[in-house]
């Protein structure tokens, strides 16, 4: 747990001034427009009481005018009346719930008032509305740190580009843990292991895991449950024997046993419907939309009817594999590029940038992930193998075996000669292919 951040993002002396400046739009009422222009001049000249008086008068003409509300809130903040400024911004938020500037200003005022849970909620709304606003992510990291949520603070600071602060938060949040509950099968940015004579390619490669008592092991191996037909049990013993331990934890990922994974969710966390047991503390779930070329579309993000949700607010997700033949595996990305068959992806979070796409030539759904964070997938036992592809190589893979790839790989589906109903994919470039030994029809 942490009380303070030793390298805090510096709070601006007037946080709403740069984010809350009012842009006077096309006039619907010429008199109000003239008043707003005059008020802006008074604000620039620091004649704040006069500006406030003009704005109060203008509100009598149109109490819901968003331009008036924004400017009045700014003036009252500059006068040091933070609570009053917050109330006006709340009115503006009702009029314009999707305006990220208003939510940012509410978050910054809450920070000034040291109301950190409120600040976190407002700034979470800001980054949902404007995911590329690094300033908002920085303030959100500050709010999380003050709320004693260092792992979430680390995620926010990384999204803000403040990697030193993120690393400090991660160090502060790392408890001594049972190695069996740790995250495994991380993806390293090193091209090869440090002991290898092969030169690094600069792309991500699955890291071999030496087996000793201090090394994490594959997560969530399926446990055999005893058969219960014909058994007699009291309700209390039946229930108690299945209780999951939900003690407080700062770990972003944790195995709870019985094939259940605890996943700490923050802004922009997504989860597959069929793998979600419960979202503890979530304000709600929203149907995820496909993100294409950086923009959200109107299409639902789903595969064979199994939808994905975006988690609203901070929460702890309990996940389990819906397929008896597969187990959950948590991947840790560190500024990597990863493409995965969409149906394999269970959840993702942190500062990962993602998009939905498909394999050129056959339309097989894909999800692309870039950056640092966590991705949970499901695989069957030792189903997957990895094959390196070097610059200049050309590889052909049956379509039902290619699960994904890492790095700079160009994939193209092509029909099999003599069979119009079958296809394969050709792969060129530099990276690693993830291939299923079993394969399955799409």
Same domain as 64, residue 167: yes
Same domain as 149, residue 31: yes
Say how far apart CA 10 and CA 18 lie, in whole Å. 14
Q: 362 is in which domain, residue-wise?
A: 205-215+250-379
Contact 71, 37 (CB under 8 A): no
Q: Give counts: helices (H), strands (E), the chain.
A: 11, 20
**Which pLDDT score, from 0 to 100, does residue 68 have?**
84
**Which pLDDT score, from 0 to 100, does residue 13 have?**
44
Same domain as 152, residue 47: yes
- Helix, strand or coil, per DSSP, at residue 226: coil
Same domain as 140, residue 48: yes
**Chain segment 236-269, per-residue pLDDT in tens:** 777 877 788 787 777 788 888 888 999 988 878 9
Contact 156, 144 (CB under 8 A): yes
Same domain as 257, residue 158: no
**Chain segment 300-319, per-residue pLDDT in tens:** 888 778 899 999 888 889 99
* Nearest alpha-carbon partner for 123 in 43, 376, 112: 112
Neighbours of 114 (CB within 10 A): 9
Same domain as 257, residue 152: no
Strands (E), 295-418: 295-300, 302-303, 306-312, 315-319, 327-341, 345-350, 353-358, 365-379, 384-389, 394-398, 402-416
**Which pLDDT score, from 0 to 100, does residue 229 have?**
55
Question: Is 156 a member of any domain?
Answer: yes
- Helix, strand or coil, per DSSP, at residue 355: strand
Please state, in angstroms and as integers, the Cα–Cα distance from residue 9 to each residue in 139, 145, 238, following that order: 7, 11, 51
**Which pLDDT score, from 0 to 100, does residue 20 have?**
39
Same domain as 290, residue 144: no
- Tell me which residue has tokens 């934890």: 249
Polymer length in residues for the chain: 442
Same domain as 333, residue 210: yes
Contact 383, 401 (CB under 8 A): no
Question: Is 143 a member of any domain?
Answer: yes
* Nearest alpha-carbon partner for 160 in 181, 143, 185: 143
Same domain as 211, residue 135: no
CATH number of the domain residue 72 falls in:
1.25.40.10
**Which pLDDT score, from 0 to 100, does residue 222 have?**
36
Please state, in angstroms and as integers, the Cα–Cα distance from residue 173 to each residue in 120, 182, 262, 319, following that order: 18, 14, 16, 22
**396 φ, ψ (degrees, to nearest 5):** -120, 130
CATH number of the domain residue 277 falls in:
3.60.160.10
Work out the burial of residue 192: count CB atoms within 10 Å of its CB; fewer than 13 is exposed, 13-18 middle, 19 or more buried.
middle
Please state, in angstroms and as integers, the Cα–Cα distance from residue 364 to each residue in 104, 213, 289, 360, following that order: 39, 40, 17, 8
**Which pLDDT score, from 0 to 100, does residue 63 have?**
65
Same domain as 307, residue 161: no
Last residue of a domain, one of 379, 394, 416: 379
Question: Is 320 a member of any domain?
Answer: yes
**For each of the chain's 442 residues, which pLDDT tens digit applies?**
333 344 455 454 444 444 333 333 444 556 667 777 787 878 777 888 888 888 888 777 666 678 888 888 888 888 888 899 999 899 888 888 888 999 999 999 999 888 988 999 899 889 888 888 888 988 998 998 888 788 888 888 888 888 888 888 877 766 544 333 333 333 332 222 323 333 322 233 333 333 333 333 334 333 434 445 566 778 877 787 778 878 777 778 888 888 899 998 887 899 999 999 999 988 889 899 888 877 788 888 887 788 999 998 888 899 999 888 888 988 888 888 999 999 999 999 887 889 998 888 878 899 999 888 899 998 887 889 999 999 889 999 988 899 999 988 999 888 776 555 557 889 999 999 999 988 764 4
């Amino acid at each position: 747990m942490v009380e303070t951040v030793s390298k805090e993002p510096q709070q601006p002396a007037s946080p709403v001034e740069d984010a809350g400046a009012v842009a006077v739009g096309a006039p619907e009422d010429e008199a109000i427009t003239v008043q707003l222009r005059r008020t802006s001049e008074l604000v620039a000249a620091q004649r704040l009481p006069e500006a406030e008086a003009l704005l109060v008068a203008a509100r009598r003409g149109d109490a819901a005018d968003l331009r008036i509300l924004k400017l009045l809130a700014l003036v009252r903040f500059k006068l040091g009346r933070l609570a009053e400024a917050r109330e006006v911004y709340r009115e503006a938020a009702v009029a314009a719930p999707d305006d990220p500037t208003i939510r940012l200003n509410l978050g910054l005022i809450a920070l000034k008032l040291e109301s950190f849970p409120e600040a976190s909620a407002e700034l979470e709304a800001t980054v949902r509305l404007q995911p590329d606003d690094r300033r908002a992510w920085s303030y959100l990291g500050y709010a999380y740190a003050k709320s004693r949520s260092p792992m979430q603070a680390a995620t926010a600071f990384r999204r803000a580009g403040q990697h030193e602060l993120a690393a400090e938060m991660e160090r502060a949040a790392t408890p001594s843990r049972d190695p069996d509950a740790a995250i495994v099968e991380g993806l390293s940015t090193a091209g090869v292991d440090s002991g290898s004579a092969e030169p690094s390619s600069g792309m991500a490669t699955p890291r071999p895991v030496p087996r000793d008592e201090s090394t994490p092991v594959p997560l969530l191996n399926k446990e055999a449950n005893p058969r219960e037909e014909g058994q007699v049990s009291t309700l209390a013993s039946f229930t108690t024997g299945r209780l999951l331990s939900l003690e407080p934890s700062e770990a972003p990922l944790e195995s709870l046993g019985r094939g259940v994974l605890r996943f700490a969710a923050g802004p922009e966390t997504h989860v597959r419907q069929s793998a979600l047991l419960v979202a503890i503390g979530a304000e709600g779930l929203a149907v995820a939309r496909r993100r294409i070329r950086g923009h959200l579309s109107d299409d639902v993000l789903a595969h064979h009817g199994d939808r994905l949700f975006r988690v609203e607010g901070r929460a702890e997700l309990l996940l389990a594999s819906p397929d008896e033949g597969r187990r959950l595996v948590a991947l840790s990305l560190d500024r990597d590029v990863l493409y995965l068959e969409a149906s394999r992806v269970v959840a993702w979070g942190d500062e990962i940038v993602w998009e939905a796409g498909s394999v050129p030539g056959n339309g097989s759904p894909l999800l692309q992930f870039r950056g640092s964070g966590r991705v949970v997938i499901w695989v069957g036992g030792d189903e997957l193998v990895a094959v390196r592809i070097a610059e200049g190589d050309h590889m052909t893979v049956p379509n039902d075996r290619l699960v994904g790839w890492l790095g700079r790989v160009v994939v193209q589906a092509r029909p099999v000669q003599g069979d119009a109903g079958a296809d394969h994919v050709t792969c060129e470039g530099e990276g690693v292919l993830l291939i299923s030994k079993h394969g399955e029809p799409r």
